[in-house]
Amino acid sequence: MKKLLLSIVLLALIGLAGCTEKLVRVQPYEMEYFAQDKMLFVPLDSRAVFEMHIFSIREASAGGLSGFQGGCGCR
Amino acid sequence: MKKGYNFVRSRIHLPLALLISTILAWSAPSLSSAGMPVAGQPAPDFSLPGLFDEKSVSLNTLKGKVVLLNIWASWCTSCKEEMEDLMAVQEQYGPRGFALVAVNIDNAPTSAVDFLKRLESRTKKKPGFILLYDKEKTVAKDYRQRAMPTSYLIDREGIVRKIYPGSFSKSTLETLKAAIEEALK
């Protein structure tokens, strides 16, 4: 049992060795592609207000995104 | 009496400890600051073409001047924000033997050139400093740059005096000016 545990730990450590800074760290001067808008978590964040406006018109109601309504769309 | 835990005699932990120390030793060079220029050491030399022309400039030819080496990119917002302040620094200290060398490290120079043209038309002034282009990012690698932008103040003998990681704020700009004054003496 101990040998199995040791083998698992050793394998995990060997695997983790691949995650050292030498291999995965992106240097500050290499971040050109990361700096692009499409790399944002919400790429269309700048369009959010516009999309909310369209949503409100389409649904003929303002708000309605939070959970206090029943979802009937009858407000 | 409770049996004591003997780490050295443990057959399991000894190889484990050896493995961990091997991994740490392997990754240590990348975690350390080995090779990184520090204040008081000679600045690594480089020779790069201009951003607007192919005329090369090397750092060695600027010996005798106080140099502020600024590594920047057009995709780096704070790099662009400090550019106007750096223009003012060049204007103020240029006549006294100061040279600002701005090394651009964009993958393609187009957007950097566009940005500088826009800056020029907005401020109605030429940048006034030396603009170089480093597509391969060799200077950033040689100087082990750890922040965008980073500026290095190099004295008349080619020795790194100060390193400024990150862009200049109003207060750090005053610190920079004081350091330039000191280096120009």
DSSP-assigned letter for residue B51: S
pLDDT at residue number B71: 97
> Residues, chain A, total?
75
- For the residues A19-38, what does the mean pLDDT come to? 80
pTM, 2 dp: 0.72
Residues in chain A closer than 8 A to B27 (CB atoms): 17, 20-22
pLDDT at residue number B1: 46
Is B123 in contact with B130 (CB distance < 8 Å)? no
Closest CB from A2, A9, A21 relative to B27: A21
What are the DSSP calls for B123-154, one per residue?
HTS---SEEEE-TT-HHHHHTT--SSSEEEEE
Is B38 in contact with B154 (CB distance < 8 Å)? no
Closest CA to B128 of B95, B152, B151, B105: B95
pLDDT tens per residue, range A23-32: 667 889 999 9
Residue of A nearest to B31 (CA): A21
How many residue contacts between A and B have a Cβ separation below 8 Å?
Answer: 55
pLDDT at residue number B56: 93
B43 close contact with A: CB closer than 8 A: no
Name the range with the highest mean pLDDT among A10-14, A17-21, A44-48, B69-73. Answer: B69-73
For chain B of 185 residues, list the mean pLDDT of each consecutive stretch of 10.
Answer: 53 70 61 68 95 92 96 95 95 96 96 95 92 96 92 96 94 95 94
Structural domain boundaries in chain B: 35-184
Greater pLDDT, B19 or A12 = A12
Closest CA to B127 of B142, B106, B113: B113
B14 close contact with A: CB closer than 8 A: no
What residues of A are in the B interface, CB distance below 8 Å? 2, 5-6, 9-10, 13, 16-17, 20-22, 25, 27-32, 35-36
| Phi and psi angles of residue B95, each rounded to the nearest 5 degrees, phi first | -65, -15
- Distance between CA atoms of residues B37 and B159, nearest Å: 10
CATH number corresponding to B35-184: 3.40.30.10
Whether the complex's predicted ipTM surpasses the cut of 0.95: no
Structural domain boundaries in chain A: 2-59
Local confidence band at A75 (pLDDT 50, 70, 90 cut-offs): very low
- Integer CA distances (angstroms), B149 to A29, B77, B83, B90, B112, in order: 9, 9, 11, 17, 14
B166 close contact with A: CB closer than 8 A: no
Closest CB from B12, B27, B137 relative to A29: B137
Q: Enumerate the β-bridge partners of residue B102.
A: B70, B131
